[in-house]
Amino acid sequence: MIDVCRVFTSIVLSASLGVISSYASATEQPLAEAKEKAGTKEEKPANKKVIGDPIVAKIGASKVIRRSEVLRTVQDLPAATRQQMSEDKIFKAVLDRLVRSYLLTEAAKKAGIEKDPTFQKALEANKSELLSRFFLMQEVQVKLTKAALEARYKRFVTEFPKELEHHLFHILVKDEATAKAVITDLERGGNFDALARDKSIAPSREKSGDEGYVMKSMLPPQFSDELGKLKQGEFTKTPIKTDMGYHVIKVTDARDAVPPKLEEIQQALQSLLFQEEALKLVKKLESQKKVERFNEDGTPVAEESKAK
């Protein structure tokens, strides 16, 4: 059974933290993200050892918030949100929101907001949206079995693009002059790995600029255009400009693209599977009722638009 309070709180927290506010929106471009992360493994810090379920906040004389309540709320947030911050930071952020939410709720009750006609209308308007979300989660979640996930992965592998992927090394700097200086050093025999660690502002600097194997279709157009000109071991002779800055790339290998393993994209596939099953459910419900749609001015929708 779904814990309504937990899910509703997670929705409110998601909006407050400026992150994805609905379950379905977390599924945007899951395959693209999966391919982009192919061959990489995320390292997460080990969970802290905490004895029991300590109180992590006290509000007034009667209200307490325990660690377990914060952790449950954190777990209900979209995975993308949890990956954006460290465990300590997201714990503190969620705790702050729970405290503020309680304080504001209590103040609102004392102010009689619950009886306010405008609030009642807003509550009723949101009731339909919440009901539909909970129904989707309840009906679809049970279909996300291990067998269904494995079957979807097999289909993913079958549909995986047949193209080359290149092993890229990358240096990103802020200005063109620095990028040109890097290229000059490389032409004089400089070590790419050392220059990446010393000059690059990209996250890959910690890995000597190693971006792993990347498919051409996953790269910005400026990169993919240069890839066709480089042979193994060669680097770009002119800086590549993007919105992030100026780039110098080196190619060390090329091979047929290899689909990521199931465990590497399991989360993305689960989101995609949820989205697909939800769409099936909606179409089934539409088939059971006669649904007619009209243009904004009330005129009939053209046949070609209905097909879409």
pLDDT in tens, 230-254: 888 999 999 999 989 999 999 999 8
H-type alpha helices, 17-86 = 30-36, 67-76, 79-82
- Taking domain 163-256, whether its CATH number is 3.60.15.10 is answered by no
Please tell me the distance from the alpha carbon of residue 211 to that of residue 252, in angstroms, as a whole number.
11
In Å, the largest CA–CA distance within the chain is: 76
- Delimit the domains of the chain by residue range: 1-40+53-160+266-308, 163-256
Please tell me the distance from the alpha carbon of residue 75 to that of residue 78, in angstroms, as a whole number.
8
Question: Residues 173-228: pLDDT tens digits?
Answer: 999 999 999 999 999 999 999 999 999 999 999 999 999 998 888 888 888 878 87
Cα-based distances in Å from 56 to 2, 8, 52:
25, 21, 12
Please tell me the distance from the alpha carbon of residue 128 to that of residue 20, in angstroms, as a whole number.
19
Please tell me the distance from the alpha carbon of residue 119 to that of residue 197, in angstroms, as a whole number.
55
Question: Residues 117-168: pLDDT tens digits?
Answer: 999 988 888 888 889 989 999 999 899 999 999 999 999 999 998 888 899 9
Contacts for 233-237 with beta carbons within 8 Å, 24 or more apart?
A: 235/169, 235/183, 235/186, 235/192, 236/183, 237/183, 237/187
The residue written with tokens 């269904």 in the block is 148
Q: What's the chain's average pLDDT?
A: 82
